[in-house]
Amino acid sequence: MKINRAYKTELDPNDEQTKALRNHAGAARWVYNWALDKKIKTHNELNLFVSSGELQKEIVRIKNISKENGGEPWLYEVSKCVPQCAIQNLEKAYQNFYRRIKKGIKKGFPKHKKKRDGAGSFRLADTSIWATEKYINLPKIGKIKLKRYKYLPLFDQKNIHILSATISENNYRWYVSLNVEEIIPDPIKPTGEPIGIDTGVNHLATLSDGTIFENPKAASKNKERTRLLQKAVSRKKKGSNNQKKAQRKLTKHHNHIKNIRNDASNKATTEVIAKQPEFIVVEGSNIVGMMQNHKLAGAIADAAMGEFIRKIEYKAKWAGIPVYKADRFFPSSKACSHCGTINESLTLEDRIFKCECGFEIDRDLNAAINLREYSAAGLAVTACRAMESLTRKSKTLVKILFRQEPNT
C-alpha cells in the first residue's frame, strides 16, 4: 500500500548555511512576486493568461542575461528547483482562487509575499535530496545537521521515495518537511466496535463509548499573556530593534499555543485509531459558517475542530478504517439516542439532554451515539421512532434529513 507522508523536524544550520537558506527563501519570494506581477499585467493589458510553462521559460531566459541588460544572473546562486517550485506554488494559488469562486465563498486572490513577514519558505524537488540519522542533504546548500536524531526516513530504504522538501523559517528557527511516498503493509481489517465522534468547544471530542478528550483551550488560558505581549509590541517605536525583540517574543508565544493545540489533537486522534473501530462517523459541521457567530468564533477557533477531523481522516486511511461524515443537517444533538424523539427546544446552554421519555444523558455523548448509528439501518430505525411523535411538518423534515422513503 502506497501512502504520502510528511516528516517535519527542526534544523540546526551554521551561520553560512543560515545565510544560504535565507538566500533561497528570498529567491523563492522574488520569483513568486515576479510571476504574480507578470500574470496580472498580461491579463490587464492583453486580456491573456500566462501559463506556468511560459513563466518557466522566461525565468531561464532572464537568468542568462547580465544585470546591465535587465537580467537576473544571481538566480544561479540558488538551486534551479527554487524558481520552478515558486511558480508551481503560484499556479496552485490561482487554482484555489478559481475553486473558491465556483463555490461562491471568499475569493482569496493570490497576494504578494512580503519580506517583513519573515524569511518565508521554499520548496525543493530534486533527486539529490537525502537524509541520514543526523543530517539532511539539500542541493546547493549541502549537509545540514538535524536537531532531532533518527526522525527523518533514511534515503537508502527501498520502501521510501523522497518527493520534495519544504524548508521554512519561523521565529528565527528553520524547519524541514520531507514529503515522501512510502510503501507500508496492507492494514488488517479492523474488528473493534464502530465509533461516533462528537467534537465541540467544552470537550475536544466525545466518543460514543464514553471516552472524553478534554479541550486544552490553549488560547483562552493564555489570553492575558497574549494581551501583555501585544501591548509591549504596540508601545515600542515602530521599526526599532526593541519592537523586533517584542515581536519575536509574541511570535514565540503564539507558536507555544499552536504546539499545545497540535499535541492534544495528535494524541487524541492516535488513541482513537488505536481502538481499531470497524468504522468512524464524524460530524459534517459547517465550521466556516459557525465562525460567523462572533460570540463563539474565538472558542471554535481555539478548539480546532476542523484540524481534529482532518487528522482523524488521514490516520484512519493509513489504518484501513472507513470514515463517514454525517449530513450537515443531521440532528445528532437534538435527537434522543434512546427513543429517537427530536427535542427542538434544545439550546447550547443545555449540557444534559432530557427527553420526554424520561431518558437523560450528557449532550455530547448523546450526539456521539447518534453519529455511531449513522448507517442505513440505524437511520431508518431512528427516523421511524421519531415520526411517531412528530407533526406532519416535522415528518417531512425528518424524511429530508434522513433521506428515507415514506412508509406505506
* 198 flagged as catalytic: yes
- Tell me how far CA of residue 390 lies from CA of 366, 369, 371, 397, in angstroms: 20, 21, 21, 10
Residues 220 and 261 in one domain: yes
Segment 300-341, tens digit of pLDDT: 888 888 899 999 999 999 999 999 888 888 888 888 887 877
Residues 211 and 136 in one domain: no
Residues 291 and 262 in one domain: yes
Residues 203 and 238 in one domain: yes
- Of 123, 157, 183, the residue that ends a domain is 183
Residues 154 and 219 in one domain: no
- Of 275, 294, 325, the residue that ends a domain is 325
Residues 155 and 286 in one domain: no
Per-residue pLDDT at 377 exceeds 80:
no
| pLDDT (0 to 100) of residue 156 | 64
User: What's the rounded Cα separation, in Å, for the pair 294 and 300?
Assistant: 10
* 263 flagged as catalytic: no
Assigned domain for 344 exists: no
Segment 80-123, tens digit of pLDDT: 999 999 999 999 999 999 988 888 777 789 999 998 888 899 99
Confidence of residue 397 (pLDDT cuts 50, 70, 90): very low
* 302 flagged as catalytic: no
Side chain identity at residue 275, one-letter code? K
What is the number of domains present in the chain? 2
When mean pLDDT is compared over 197-201, 231-235, 339-343, the highest value belongs to: 231-235
| pLDDT (0 to 100) of residue 266 | 94
Segment 122-157, tens digit of pLDDT: 999 988 898 888 999 999 999 999 998 888 877 667
Residues 231 and 158 in one domain: no
In angstroms and rounded to an integer, the radius of gyration of the C-alpha atoms of the chain is 26
| pLDDT (0 to 100) of residue 2 | 87
Assigned domain for 349 exists: no
Residues 174 and 304 in one domain: no
Q: What are the two backbone dihedrals, phi and then psi, of residue 177, each rounded to the nearest 5 degrees?
A: -120, 115
- Determine which of 109-118, 255-264, 302-311, 349-358 has the lowest per-residue pLDDT on average: 349-358
Assigned domain for 334 exists: no
- Of 72, 169, 198, 302, which is the active-site residue? 198
- Of 72, 169, 283, 373, which is the active-site residue? 283
| pLDDT (0 to 100) of residue 386 | 37
Residues 201 and 168 in one domain: no
| pLDDT (0 to 100) of residue 382 | 36
| pLDDT (0 to 100) of residue 328 | 80
Average pLDDT over residues 36-52: 91
- Of 72, 169, 302, 364, which is the active-site residue? 364
Residues 219 and 288 in one domain: yes
Assigned domain for 282 exists: yes
DSSP for 223-250, written as a single string: HHHHHHHHHHHHHSPTTSHHHHHHHHHH
CB of 79 within 8 A of CB of 24?
yes
- Determine which of 271-285, 326-340, 370-384 has the lowest per-residue pLDDT on average: 370-384
- Of 266, 295, 325, the residue that ends a domain is 325
Assigned domain for 127 exists: yes
User: What's the rounded Cα separation, in Å, for the pair 254 and 235?
Assistant: 19
Assigned domain for 176 exists: yes
Residues 266 and 168 in one domain: no
Assigned domain for 291 exists: yes
Assigned domain for 54 exists: yes
Q: What is the residue range of 16's domain? A: 2-183
User: What's the rounded Cα separation, in Å, for the pair 147 and 139?
Assistant: 20
| pLDDT (0 to 100) of residue 102 | 86
Residues 31 and 107 in one domain: yes
